Amino acid sequence: MDILYERTREERNRLECSVSRNRVFPPHFHLDLELHVLRRGNITVNVNGEEQEVHDGTITIIDSYDVHSFRNQSGENWQDLLLIIPYKFLTRFNAIRENFKIADPFIHDPALCEELYAVADRFLLNPDFRSDENVQACAVDLLLSLLCRRIEFSKKKERGDAILVRQILAFLQEHYSENVKRSDVARELGYTETHISRVFHRFLQMGISEYVNRLRLSEMERRRKQGDTRTTLELLYEVGFQSQQTYYRAKLKAEENA
């Protein structure tokens, strides 16, 4: 249920590579570059409000601070590679692209998928190299060099709506335990409530109140995992729910949409 600006990922500053997991991630963003390589399957990916069904042999490149989510509507299993690359590994890549944004995050190329899988398997998933940062850096350079043959970079500045959504997410992450409302967000960021609501829903496919409640549920879940033994009643008020009824409605809705 992590639906947030992932500051903790930036603090860890560690390359992450994993394969063959059925990923269902709600909207979030972070500094790191993220590569999702779908070897087999069919899932829905949303990047900065652009939603697309991706199939076998599709690579999704999620740039720094792009708002993104993964959803599996079919319920079928898939086989994929997920690589999250810390900013410190992106020096050469950023020099090549001259800091322009990626024009299209989706690349359908089964042969390239297999090349990326081979590099990751040989150097990033191999226990002999997983703790060697020099090998990791070289492997990342190779992966990004392979991708650069297909990536197109935009000469245009980033859309203002993408920046606004990140500002909204960061504000909500900081204030979700308070009685935060859409009007608070609008006043803080200097936009009308209607504009805030429309842009937020287009990117995240949910309203601000639902998002905030999911953040609260996520925090309760995190505290339980850390051994917090207080009652549900005590916790729900502490994380920002105004009543038991609101908590149970939010929990039911999150379970229905899981």
pLDDT at 141: 95
User: Are 144 and 175 in the same domain?
Assistant: no
6-39 per-position pLDDT tens digit: 555 555 678 999 987 666 777 777 878 999 999 9
Q: What mean pLDDT do residues 120-148 have?
A: 93
Query: pTM, whole model, 2 decimals?
Result: 0.67
Is residue 153 one of the residues assigned to a domain?
A: no
**Residue 99 class from Cβ within 10 Å (0-12 exposed, 13-18 middle, 19+ buried)?**
exposed
Is residue 154 one of the residues assigned to a domain?
A: no
User: Are 79 and 167 in the same domain?
Assistant: no
**Which of 204 and 15 is assigned the larger pLDDT?**
15
Residue corresponding to tokens 């009007």: 183
φ/ψ region of 136 (left if φ > 0, alpha if ψ in -120 to 50, else beta) reads alpha
User: Are 168 and 123 in the same domain?
Assistant: no
User: Are 12 and 58 in the same domain?
Assistant: yes
Is residue 1 one of the residues assigned to a domain?
A: no
Q: What is the CATH number of the domain that holds 32?
A: 2.60.120.10
Buried b (16+ CB within 10 A) or exposed e, 181-216: ebebbbeeeebeeeebbebbeebbbbebebbbbbbb
Q: Which structural domain, as residue segments, surrounds residue 210?
A: 160-256
**Which of 10 and 50 is assigned the larger pLDDT?**
50
User: Are 89 and 198 in the same domain?
Assistant: no
How far apart, in Å, are the Cα atoms of 245 and each of 85, 198, 222, 250? 41, 27, 21, 9
Beta bridge partners of 42: 55
138-150 per-position pLDDT tens digit: 999 999 999 998 9
Q: What is the maximum alpha-carbon separation in the chain?
A: 55
Q: What percent of the chain has pLDDT over 90?
A: 52
Number of domains in the chain: 2
